[in-house]
A and B are shown apart, each in its own frame.
Chain A
């Protein structure tokens, strides 16, 4: 009981634990662990052979957090900003620091705008988005879908997943249908 000084549930002895768990106590000394101390000034051990890295080129137009004093010497170029989503994201980067909720909420908005546009554009290509293959839902057929879910609390909200995937499209389709009907009636 914690109402007295002794530990309420004493642990097994070191000998018992060594016999039960391979390697028990191999890192017993807290000062001899890789993560200690948290900050360990040792600039020569990383493999870097520069004080400041060469700067990756080209650098023009690359978005950056306004908390950075400069563009970092190296950066990813995987998916450059483009279109309306790019404008939203650039505004988030140029206007708001990472400390502002607006920064992150605008980036999320940019994500949704881009994914909507990408889905719509894909319909004009030879490989339109396919919600059946791209959600991987076909794996349900041979991966024990019922037995795997028995007794799990997360099943209560897994039913929301299809709503999250299909809901915005059904909603947008419904609105478009209503607008089209009104226009045709005029």
Chain B
């Protein structure tokens, strides 16, 4: 697929990517997914998104070619690829901050490399395609265990790993009340993961009833539809006996609804880096001394965040793009133990040829859409 400007994508024939560095691999994509953060690109919110760019940072596939210095992969290996592109050896990677790699994104120092996510993250085409260039093949990709289903592996390349990481950034301790704002894939994963860390209550908040139903069935969460309350922050206080939640996870990000002015000035008029509605609800709904974990993606411009409340309440704000591969060994243990089944978040599967419809379906939240998988060559 290629980007043709805000709200427009189409399928085009492009040259097959080629090895550009000795540690590159070329992967033939077997499954890709559309991420909620892809919608920020699709809506024209991410600076330096160029015409012809191929999106897609969630994909799995089969190794089709390897560069001369690749030692850990062979042609034919079935691999899952984390959305982060990283070298494994810079100051940040040496400390496990894989999503903050300094050696792969010349366009910005504030963000690492991401597949198919504009030139602001390095200018790499993504995996909503038949083939993709995978830099640092000895560092990022992992051979998929034989027992792991393709769709479960696909969900680990970003959405589920990010939700799991977000729950960890909440520093949850046994008995904590955890509120998750947003019941999309990352929110569902965060809500489900909060229990693993000992949460006593998990409450999912969204405006879409079908997603809240999924939060109840998939993530065992209590649910609140914020449109049913005059002020969702007051409800967050009431349901916790006036205290506020111990942990609030923002799994919404730049296009948050709930405040028309904030949404229109950011998502529509691009005057802010993102609509901070969810983030402000998190700051106001968490208890004093509590923790806000931010997994929602925001653009690089400023946003109208209520920072004074965060300071006065003594909050801990934690956030990062997830260093995905750090999460995998433990998540594989949990899947193998039967605790998690990430592919249950998938609602739609579409051929790559129909990707424009896939984007519209996901963007407009039609037909009960939660997670859309793209199938090349189908």
Interface residues of A (CB under 8 A from B): 1-3, 7-12, 14, 17, 20-28, 30, 33-36, 38-43, 46-54, 56, 62-65, 67-68, 71-79, 89, 93, 98, 101, 104-105, 107-108, 110-111, 114-115, 118-119, 122, 129-131, 133-140, 143-145, 148-149, 151-154, 156-158, 160-161, 164-165
* A53-B104 Cα distance, complex, nearest whole Å: 10
Partner among B6, B136, B227, B263 whose Cβ is within 8 Å of the Cβ of A74: B136
B181-221 to A contact mask, C-beta < 8 Å, 1/0: 00000000000010111101100000111000000000010
Q: Which of B283-335 contact A (CB under 8 A)?
A: 287, 299-302, 323, 326-327, 329-330, 334
Does more than half of chain A's interface fall in helix, strand or loop, or is it mixed?
A: loop
- Asked if B175 is at the interface of the complex by the 8 Å CB criterion, the answer is yes
| A24 lies within 8 A of B54 (CB) | no
- Asked if B378 is at the interface of the complex by the 8 Å CB criterion, the answer is no
With known contacts A22-B339, A152-B207, A165-B6, A48–B139 Cβ distance under 8 A:
yes
* A159-B157 Cα distance, complex, nearest whole Å: 34
| B367 lies within 8 A of A74 (CB) | no
B77-94 to A contact mask, C-beta < 8 Å, 1/0: 000000001111100011
Closest 6 pairs (CB-CB, A-B): A11-B200, A8-B241, A23-B339, A76-B123, A136-B360, A46-B88
| A74 lies within 8 A of B103 (CB) | yes
A-B pair count, CB < 8 Å, reads 312
| A39 lies within 8 A of B97 (CB) | yes
Pick the most buried of A48, A67, A156: most chain B CB atoms within 10 A of its CB: A48
Q: What are 20 residue pairs bridging A and B, where the CB atoms are less than 8 Å apart in the complex?
A: A2-B241, A23-B340, A42-B94, A42-B95, A46-B86, A46-B93, A47-B139, A51-B89, A71-B106, A76-B119, A78-B50, A78-B52, A93-B107, A122-B4, A133-B356, A137-B360, A143-B367, A148-B367, A156-B260, A161-B7
| B89 lies within 8 A of A43 (CB) | yes
* A63-B132 Cα distance, complex, nearest whole Å: 22
Partner among A21, A89, A131, A144 whose Cβ is within 8 Å of the Cβ of B220: A21
